Amino acid sequence: MPYEPSADWQYEVPTSGSKRLPPAARYVQSLTHQGYGFEAAIADLIDNSIDAGATKVVVSFLRESDRLVSLLVVDDGHGMDEAGLDVAMTVGGRTEYSDSALGHFGAGLKAASLSHSDALTLISRTKRSPSAGRRWRTAAAQADFSCDIVDARYCQNLVDRYDGVIEWHGTIVRWDGVRAFETVTDGQTDRFLNEAIEKLETHLGLYLHRFLARGDFHIDIVVEDVQTRDELDHRGIEPIDPFGYRIPGRARYPRTFIAPVEGVGDVRLTGHIWPPKSPLVAYRGIGPLADRQGFYIYRHDRLVQAGGWNGTRSAEAHHNLARIAIDLPSDPNDVFSLTVKKDGVNVTPAFARGLEKAADDSGHSFAAYLQDAETTYREAARRSTEAKRPEVVPPGKGIDPKLKRTLRDELPQLEGADPITFRWESIPSHTFFSIDRDEYVVRLNKEYREAFNGDRRAGSNDAPVLKGLLYILLEKNFRMGRSSAQRDDEMALWNSVLISAARCEIARYETDAR
């Protein structure tokens, strides 16, 4: 019916038709300004790999001499055919997700990629369809939403290059024109890579820790020479459980509280109290303690918020030991809403009202839990100061990631210090190891490498026992700067003993081989 003016309030806005208003092509530009951090963007790509059923994911930094040229994320998921590629490269293209999917808005692949690169290429194959690909270049997409069709022969060549990951099916995401790479100055590539990979290890290890802990899902980060295809660095991601303490900070914890939240129903909150002064990376190594207290919110086992109180209270030092795990309800609701970047959760006041009534099955309230966490913190602060270990130069390339994680758990790290690299090289036979203080390198004599590997394949992270012991012995030589007669004599002694031991081991191995 035609609209008739009235003094009464119009509960429905009257309309007189409709028209289609497609987004302007420069809408693509808005995707490049979503505020994605580098680590969060990579994590978003890996979410897609998990949704595709991948068991192996490789994040590869491609390097040519002192220049970083591209970044790839390769997985062995079920892959996509040409129609699937078109949907994946359309903003908001996916309209339906499975009940357990990590994808949510249908924009993550594009927004995460174009926030950091000038070109996004997606190549995939399934068991029943050949390799195919699509490419978005920011400049072309901004003009008219154009998406390039990648040459089928190149698609197959790139899939073949990574046949160690992709066998019958899988996907490759390629970033070119990565803006962070273009800021790296001459001679700083190693330092940039080490810092970038360290942050990426921590982020992926934390936000995907439940998947990594299962044992049937693996993420590796490699640095690859684009010409020779040699792996210059290789690190496996280890899970970082934000509740991974050995003994709780207070007896009878953790406790599970039930919060009656209007519009959702009962929400389970598992309250943990960390042991005070813990040196573990899962406590100290994932960011400022004030930022990491509070709620750890999961959606389908993927951590989407690592700390924070969601407006229910302010961060205070005496709550640093308090961490609460929450699994979001699987059913849609109006109380909890995920941010586009999956790096936080927005809540309505109904959540705060539910917290006020939250209690465990014995009647212990959530408010009492916070008081317990505060008391534990204050009691520890009053105790006598514990023995402190000196801050050390961090371990770097050449050390197995699990060993590196233990060293970081046990020893506080010097902020901003270049890490110590271990490399096997050709050096004189009378020397087992030498150190380069300027380059922060421990050089090991490759003549003796077989003593520590035997018939096993040598890799960049081999001989962890040897390298762990040498790190503990030699780290102070990098931290304390110039050498001294006493330290030079110590190293001469260690060299002599290690050469003799290695020769004995090689002789025993050769005897057994006969």
Q: What is the mean pLDDT of residues 340-346?
A: 81
Q: Can you spell out the DSSP letters for 69-96? A: EEEEEEE-S----HHHHHHHTSTT----
Taking the CA of residue 370 as centre, how many other CA atoms within 13 Å lie in the half-sphere pointing to its CB? 19
19: pLDDT strictly greater than 80: no
CB environment 378-411: b (16+ within 10 A), e (fewer): eeeeeeeeeeeeeebbbbbbbbbbebbbbbbeeb
Residue pLDDT, tens place only, 377-430: 999 988 755 667 888 999 998 998 888 888 888 888 888 888 999 999 999 989
Do 371 and 379 contact (CB within 8 A), yes or no? no
Q: What is the mean pLDDT of residues 332-341?
A: 85
Listed in sequence order, the DSSP H helices in 208-322 are 209-212, 281-284, 289-292
User: How far is residue 496's CA from residue 432's CA, in Å, rounded to a whole number?
Assistant: 8
* Closest residue by Cα to residue 59 from 206, 173, 146, 192: 173
Residue pLDDT, tens place only, 271-280: 999 999 898 8
Residue pLDDT, tens place only, 215-273: 899 999 999 999 999 999 898 999 999 999 989 999 999 999 999 999 999 999 999 99
Q: Give the model's confidence band at 494: pLDDT under 50 very low, under 70 low, under 90 confident, else very high.
A: very high
* DSSP 8-class letter at 430: T
User: How far is residue 63's CA from residue 69's CA, in Å, rounded to a whole number?
Assistant: 6
End-to-end CA distance of the chain: 100
User: What is the predicted pLDDT for the residue at 34?
Assistant: 65
* Closest residue by Cα to residue 451 from 494, 402, 512: 512
Q: Give the model's confidence band at 2: pLDDT under 50 very low, under 70 low, under 90 confident, else very high.
A: confident
> What pairing do the DSSP bridges indicate for beta strands 302-306 and 265-273?
unpaired
* Closest residue by Cα to residue 116 from 187, 192, 31, 225: 31
> What pairing do the DSSP bridges indicate for beta strands 148-149 and 302-306?
unpaired
